[in-house]
């Protein structure tokens, strides 16, 4: 292995150790973060920043979320829906989808920005990841592949999209940040029969969820 690769491997290990100190203790989640090479989802010229605990712009007004944010959302999902088929709304760089794939989920992801959709599709193919990527309005979900055991939304919504809730399987859960343009609370919805349970967690700051049932349609 080349020296730069060893350095990045060390940085990835340090990132995982930091996640543990921040309170991410689920072993499955930490192992997935160790397995997935986050720097591969960055442009070559910025890979030295890949393991910093910060968000990073990926173009088109979008970001790759900081590792802690991704780990926090992923932990909420894993603890409630540990296996099955998952829909990710907002492919972005593809990193969150790769984490879900490393956890053993069957992953379907939807991206509304065509250039990011194309970029992620090519990257997944190059990395040999069996992730299905769709181009479209993720706020509407993806009815053809529903129902989903889990849904994870990687942008801030004004409220929970009804289409996504309807595409949840029984006992499935959706993790979504809900709030205004500045701050959102991480929220989990769980469907049990005809009942819908809601849990609210800490605040984060995401780019807006744009779409018919997101900010654009509100």
Name the residues annotated as catalytic. 65
Helix axes 95-102, 27-35, angle to 10 degrees: 120
Could you give the dihedral angle defined by the CA atoms of residues 160, 202, 105 and 21, in that order, rounded to the nearest 10 degrees?
A: 170
- Three-state secondary-structure class, residue 136: coil
140: which DSSP letter?
Answer: G
CA 141 to chain CA mean position, Å: 14
Q: How far is CA 26 from CA 68, 76, 160, in A?
A: 13, 10, 26
User: 160: which residues sit within 8 A by CB, 6+ positions away?
Assistant: 174, 176, 178, 187, 189
Residue 107 CB-density burial (10 A; 0-12 exposed, 13-18 middle, 19+ buried): buried
64: which DSSP letter?
Answer: E
CA atoms within 13 A on the CB side of 98: 24
């Amino acid at each position: 292995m080349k020296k730069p690769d060893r350095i990045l491997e060390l940085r990835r290990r340090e990132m995982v150790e930091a996640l543990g100190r921040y309170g991410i203790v689920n072993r499955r989640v930490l192992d997935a973060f160790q397995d997935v090479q986050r720097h591969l989802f960055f442009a070559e010229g910025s890979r030295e920043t890949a393991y910093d605990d910060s968000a990073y712009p990926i173009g088109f007004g979008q970001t790759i979320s900081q590792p802690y944010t991704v780990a926090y959302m992923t932990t909420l999902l894993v603890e409630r829906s540990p296996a099955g088929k998952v829909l990710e709304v907002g492919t972005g760089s593809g990193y969150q989808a790769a984490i879900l794939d490393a956890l053993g989920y069957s992953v379907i992801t939807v991206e509304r920005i065509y250039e990011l959709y194309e970029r992620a599709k090519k990257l997944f193919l190059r990395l040999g990841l069996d992730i299905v990527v769709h181009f479209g309005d993720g706020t509407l979900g993806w009815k053809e592949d529903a129902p989903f055991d889990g849904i994870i939304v990687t942008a801030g919504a004004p409220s929970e999209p009804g289409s996504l809730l309807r595409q949840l399987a029984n006992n499935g859960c959706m993790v979504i940040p809900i709030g205004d343009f500045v701050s959102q609370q991480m929220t989990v919805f769980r469907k049990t029969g005809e009942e819908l349970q809601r849990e609210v967690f800490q605040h984060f700051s995401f780019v807006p969820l744009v779409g018919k049932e997101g900010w654009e349609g509100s």
